[in-house]
Amino acid sequence: MEKKKTDEAPKSGITKQAWDKVDSQAVDLYTLTNKNGVEVKISNYGGKVTSWITPDKSGAKSNIVLGFNNPNSYTKDVPYFGALIGRYGNRIAGGKFAIDGKTYTLATNNGKNALHGGNKGFDKVIWTAEPIVDSVSALTLTYLSKDGEEGYPGNLKVTVKYTLTDADELKIDYTATTDKATPINLTNHTYFNLSGDLSSTILDETIQINADRYTPVNSELIPTGKLEPVKGTPFDFTKPMAIGSRMSQVPGTPVGYDHNFVLNTSDTTMHQAAVLYDAKSGRQLEVSTTQPAIQFYTGNFLDGKLIADSGKPINQHTALCLETQHYPDSPNQPAFPNTVLKPGETFHSTTVYKVSVK
């Protein structure tokens, strides 16, 4: 997250560079730049957003996401920095679910539960990349998740398109089809720190989440099945609140938020999910989506053991995630919105992350 300032006129477009090898396979890094000089780097390794360079209120540019300059820095100990998540984002209880009476057993990688697609989810595979040279910078990634991969049924064809607009928006379009019924919950796991400074936590940043309800969880972060009102609880972000102001009231260890918020919408049109603001830098992040929920995670499991390229430790609450999604454990929760994709159907969702300065 080092700052850089330049007087050169930005060149909008997309460039590609070789980015070392992962498991003996070559991976690439793509740089999307818009007319304002905002720059987002994305790799075909896990679809990772590795860097997002954008100016603060004084015009100084810095990186507002957690990421590394080398793909081999993304070891098994790195918790999904910037990555595409699938087949199923979040947790599935016991690593099991049933469709049409048949039980499927998944790889369990979070205690006895399945998390973010398993041992080798979409965050750890190499996608086929196609840069799009158009009026705006865009990158299309495709991946075929084969029948039985990580225990999931069906050959699932997934396409994710990243677009960096001249309105300083990173738009993510997800599309998928399958030849067998399978649960699907695609998201992106970028960690944001709007200050651009790893020595600052996100506790003083303010957030508003347009959700009157959330899904309480048990000690393993599996939803209880209930939808509880946020009013009168530390989960009430219906008005902008400092993230750290009530964090000590949130049950569980380590301390912090790692909860699914049920958005105030009954349809799949674009709607605002959350607004994040950092007063020191003046940066604001607005999240809009067609999805019914958003996971608000405050980097609770970051513990300083990971070291950024700058040499600074990545400490607890250094960054946060705003993962648009369906509810966790939906395949085992009949009252939750359906996440099963069937043959002949097409899954599609869109999420937009817009950065501005106030």
Q: How many C-beta atoms surround the C-beta of residue 240 within 10 A? A: 13
Catalytic residue among 149, 150, 323, 326: 323
Which of helix, strand or coil describes residue 244?
helix
Distances (CA, A) of 18 to 23, 40, 71: 15, 16, 11
Does 189 qualify as catalytic in the annotation?
yes
Residue 323 is a catalytic residue: yes
Q: Considering 189, 259, 317, 326, which one is annotated as catalytic?
A: 189
Burial of residue 339, with CB atoms counted within 10 A of its CB: 0-12 exposed, 13-18 middle, 19 or more buried: buried
Closest of 171, 169, 164 to residue 355, by C-alpha: 169
Q: How distant, in Å, are the alpha carbons of 43, 188, 217, 220 from that of 223?
A: 32, 20, 4, 9
Count other C-beta atoms under 10 Å from residue 294's C-beta.
26
Contact status, residue 192 vs residue 319, Cβ threshold 8 Å: yes
CA distances from 183 to 46, 92, 99, 303, 339 (A): 20, 10, 9, 32, 5
SS (H, E, C) 52-65: EEEECCCCCEEECE
Amino acid at residue number 274: A
Both structure tokens of 184: 């699907």
Cα dist from 171 to 40, 136, 216, 260, 349, whole Å = 11, 11, 29, 21, 11
For residue 31, give the amino acid letter: T
> Catalytic amino acids?
189, 323
